[in-house]
Amino acid sequence: MKSLAELLQQSAFSEADLLRLLKTSDPAQCQALYAEAFRRTTLVHGNTIYFRGLIEISNICVYDCRYCGIRKGNAAARRYTLSMDEILEAARYALKAGYGSVALQSGERNDPKFIDFIEEICAAIHDMSVKEFGIAQGCGMTLSFGEQTPQTYERWAAAAGNRNALRYLLRIETSNQKLFARLHSGQGKAQKTYAARLQALADLRNAGYQVGTGVMIGIPGQTEEDLVRDILTFRELDVDMLGMGPYLVSHGGAMIDEGMMQKDALLRLTRNMLSTTRLALPTVNIAAATALETLQTGARSLGVLSGCNVMMPNVTPQRTRASYQLYDNKQGTEAEPDSNVMLEAELIAKTGRKIGRHLLGSSVHFRSRQEGSKQN
Ligand code: SF4
C-alpha cells in the first residue's frame, strides 16, 4: 500500500487512493493531509476567501426530508417568510460589507406565488446592486430553492441579471441511492428521487448556472466508500462548487433514533472529506459550512485550513434566525449580522487568508469552462 507521503505527491487519484486519504486517522498524518489541501488551494485560488451574504428567506417547505428540522411534518417549527423590504435590507447589508455576492435560500415550494416572489427578489437585488452600489453587471447571486422546472430556472436567471455570477446550489446529499431513498421517504413514501435530483442539476447547467452540489458527511448508514463515490460523482457531474457539512441530528427531523457520530470523529471525517475532495477537484469552490461550528466553535476556520475557499456569513434578520433550524444547535442564530460578520473576519484572520471584498468569486473551474467554450 502507498504511504500517505507518496499519495500527497500525486495529482491524480484512483478510487483506492481516495479511500486511503479519507480513512487517514493518525493525527500527524491528518495534519499533513489538511496542509497539502490548503497548499493546493493557495496554488489554484490564491489567498482569498470569497464571502456570500446568506439570506434565509423562508422556512416554509412542502417536503418532508427525514433529516431536516424545517420539514413540513415538523408541527413545532415556527414558520416565517421575510418581506421584500427585509430581504433587500439584508442584501444591502451584505453589499455594504463588501461581499460581491448574496446567497438566497429557503424551504422548497413550487407554487406560482413562490416562483413569482423569488423572481421579484432576484430582480430587485440586481437592480439595487447596480443603482445603489454601482456594480456594473450586478452582484453575484447563489440561489438554493430546490428542484424546479427548467422554465423556472430560466425566469430566475433572467431576473438575477448577471449571468457571469449566477449560481445554484442543489445538494445530492448522498450518491448512495438506497440511502438517498431512505433520507427522502417522509411520511412513508418517497418524495424525492435521485434521478430527479440529477435531472435538476443537468437542467441548471443548461440554464447557464454555475452548478453546486454537496453531501452530508456521517449520515447514519453511510460508509467511507459512499463518500468516495460522492467525490467521483462530483467529478462526473463536472460541478463548479461544493457545499458539504457534517450530518447533525435534528429534533425536528424524523431520524432521532438513528443518532449521529461522536463529535471528534465526525469533525475528523468532515475535514478528511473536505481535503480529499480538494485534492481530487482542485479548481472548484468549496464552502466552509456553518454546520462545522456546531461541532466545535471556530471550526469553519478548520474548514478553510482543510481546503475551503468560500464562506457564507448569515445576514438574515435576527428575528427569524432561530426558526431556520435545519439541524440542532445551529450557531449564529442569536447574533446580529454585525457580530456574525466580525466573527467571520476573525475566523479568516486565524487562517492567514484574506477576505475577497467586492469580488464576484466565481470558481476557477467555471472560469476555465467559460474560456474553453469561447475558444471552441
Ligand atoms: S431538506 Fe429542503 S426540501 Fe427537504 S424538508 Fe428540508 S427544506 Fe424541505
What pLDDT does residue 322 have? Answer: 66
Instruction: Over range 236-245, report the average pLDDT.
Output: 97
- Rounded to the nearest angstrom, the distance between the alpha carbon of 102 and the centre of ligand 1 is 20
Residue whose Cα lies nearest atom 7 of ligand 1: it is 107
Residue whose Cα lies nearest atom 5 of ligand 1: it is 71
- Rounded to the nearest angstrom, the distance between the alpha carbon of 83 and the centre of ligand 1 is 21
Beta-strand ranges (E) seen in the chain are 48-58, 101-106, 140-144, 166-169, 210-213, 216-217, 241-246, 285-288, 310-311, 354-355
pLDDT, tens digit, 9 for 90 and up, residues 33-52: 999 999 999 999 999 999 99
CB 171 within 8 A of CB 162: no
Residue 348's Cα: distance from chain center in Å?
Answer: 18
Taken in order 121, 60, 335, 216, the sign of the CA dihedral is: negative
Instruction: Reduce the DSSP state of residue 103 to 3 states and report it.
Output: strand
What pLDDT does residue 332 have? Answer: 61
Give the confidence band of 293 by pLDDT, cuts at 50, 70, 90. Answer: confident
Q: Is 279 in the pocket of ligand 1 (CB under 6 A)?
A: no
Instruction: Over range 10-25, report the average pLDDT.
Output: 97
Give the whole-angstrom CA distance, residue 321 versus residue 353.
Answer: 28
Question: Comparing C-alpha atoms, which of 217, 224, 366, 348 is closest to residue 284?
Answer: 366
pTM of the model as a whole = 0.94
Give the whole-angstrom CA distance, residue 24 versus residue 229.
Answer: 17
Ligand 1 pocket test, pick from 70, 180, 184, 215 with the greatest ligand atom count within 8 Å of Cβ, gives 70
Give the confidence band of 108 by pLDDT, cuts at 50, 70, 90. Answer: very high
| Domains along the sequence of the chain with CATH | 14-375 (3.20.20.70)
- Rounded to the nearest angstrom, the distance between the alpha carbon of 359 and the centre of ligand 1 is 30
pLDDT, tens digit, 9 for 90 and up, residues 48-99: 999 999 999 999 999 999 999 999 999 999 999 999 999 999 999 999 999 9
Instruction: Count CB atoms within 10 A of the CB of residue 47.
Output: 12
What pLDDT does residue 60 have? Answer: 97
Q: Quote the percentage of the chain above a pLDDT of 70.
A: 92
Instruction: Identify the residue with better confidence: 195 or 369.
Output: 195
Instruction: Over range 232-237, report the average pLDDT.
Output: 98
**The pLDDT of residue 376 is above 90:** no
Instruction: Identify the residue with better confidence: 186 or 259.
Output: 259
Amino acid residing at 158 = A
Give the confidence band of 339 by pLDDT, cuts at 50, 70, 90. Answer: low
**The pLDDT of residue 330 is above 90:** no
Ligand 1, atom nearest to 72 Cα: 5
- The DSSP code sequence of 276-332 is HHHHH-TTSEEEE-THHHHHSTTHHHHHHHTT--EE--B-S-HHHHTT--SSTT-TT
Q: Is 68 in the pocket of ligand 1 (CB under 6 A)?
A: yes
Ligand 1 pocket test, pick from 62, 63, 67, 170 with the greatest ligand atom count within 8 Å of Cβ, gives 63
What pLDDT does residue 33 have? Answer: 98
Tell me the CA distances in angstroms from 11 to 8, 17, 45, 132, 279, one per residue in order.
Answer: 8, 11, 16, 45, 7
CB 77 within 8 A of CB 59: yes
